[in-house]
Amino acid sequence: MVTHQFDGLNVNFVQCGAGPNVILLHAGGSSGAQWRQSAPYLENDYHLIVPDLIGFGDTDPWSGPSEPSHDDQARLVASLIAAECNGSVHIVGHSFGGAIAARLALAKPELFRALVLIEPVLTPLLTLAGREDVFAEYNDLATTFIEDGRAGRDEVAWRGFIDYRNGTGTWDGLSEKARTRFLASTQLTVDTFVSNLADPTTLEDVRTIVAPTLILCGEKTTQPDRVVTEILHEELPNSAYQIISKAEHMSPLTHPEPVAEAIMEHLKSYDRLFGPGR
């Protein structure tokens, strides 16, 4: 693990493998460590750069007056690419990391070769696409967690969220160590939900993303996550869509091999057409 400096923060990241550069961006409530199971399938062909986003893992917490926005996180990724890469890169983002990747694609399109979005939490797009009914489901989850977290009802907040994502009773089935780890990140997760709800991406923005994009969705994921991927596939001008069989939202953790295979196929198809880059 090495450290990158961004806005006075120590940003930790790991790198492995050899070949064209690929940035892997993790989900909220997680860290770059979520890619450990997928990395072995990719590192023989690609040089992987895997940061902990602001406040996550071993990266310093945000020092600003409010929670970091998706655009703040995207600026971090852009600065890391400028420091560590020579030329454009492939970018893979999952969930929270997928939203960061989309914001970066809008701000810095010249940084991109191919893009992979795995159920990005661009949930405000649901209302813009006329799916207020589906947005209400995610909004209820997010605002309930925010209210419980801010009121000190940490375990209530996490039980509702974990059971929503993984099925009723999942929270109670976790080890004490796992529950303690989640509880320690309550405030960070509150901030993450706030930034997710405030994402400013519009349908018009999505239509301007020209990078060849693969959109991945778990077969058994929640309705808001699935519908967001469907909207993106419809609106992105150069996108492909793939279902990960039997997977839910956390497919890079639960189904690392098929996720990595899908990523690899997409990146290699780009490299065959345009060259492998650096």
Question: Over 60: is that where the pLDDT of 262 sits?
Answer: yes
Q: What is the pLDDT of residue 230?
A: 98
CATH number of the domain to which 232 belongs = 3.40.50.1820
pLDDT value of position 64: 82
Last residue of a domain, one of 172, 194, 216: 194
- 207 with 168, same domain: the answer is no
Same domain flag for 186 and 77: no
Our measurement of the distance from residue 26's CA atom to the centroid of its chain's CA atoms, rounded to an integer in Å, reads: 5
- Cut 0.85: pTM above it: yes
Task: Note the pLDDT of residue 272.
Answer: 86
Q: How confident is the model over 222-232, as pLDDT tens digits?
A: 999 999 999 99
Examine the fold and report which residue of 194, 216, 236 is the final residue of a domain before the chain moves on. 194
Instruction: State whether 33 and 75 are in the same domain.
Output: yes
Same domain? For 64 and 83 the reply is yes
Average pLDDT of span 32-40: 96
What is the tens place of the pLDDT at every residue in 65-115? 888 999 999 999 999 999 999 889 999 999 999 999 999 999 999 999 999
What pLDDT is recorded for position 22?
Answer: 98
Please provide the average confidence, as pLDDT, over all residues in the chain: 95
Same domain, 140 and 108: no
Does the structure show a pLDDT above 80 at 277? no
In the chain, how many domains are there? 2
The reply to whether 205 and 259 lie within a common domain is yes
Is residue 39 within 8 A of residue 59, CB to CB? The reply is no
| Same domain flag for 207 and 150 | no
Q: Is residue 159 pLDDT above 70, yes or no?
A: yes
Residue 138 has pLDDT above 60, yes or no: yes
178-222 confidence digits (pLDDT tens)? 999 999 999 999 999 999 999 999 999 999 999 999 999 999 999
The pLDDT assigned to 186 comes to: 95
- 233, pLDDT greater than 70: yes
* Domain enclosing residue 167, as ranges: 132-194
* pLDDT for res 53: 97
| pLDDT score at 275 | 76
The pLDDT confidence band at residue 29, using thresholds 50, 70 and 90, is: confident
**Of 57, 1, 13, whose CA–CA distance to 188 is shortest?**
57
Is the same domain home to 116 and 215? yes
Mean pLDDT to the nearest integer, 53-60: 96
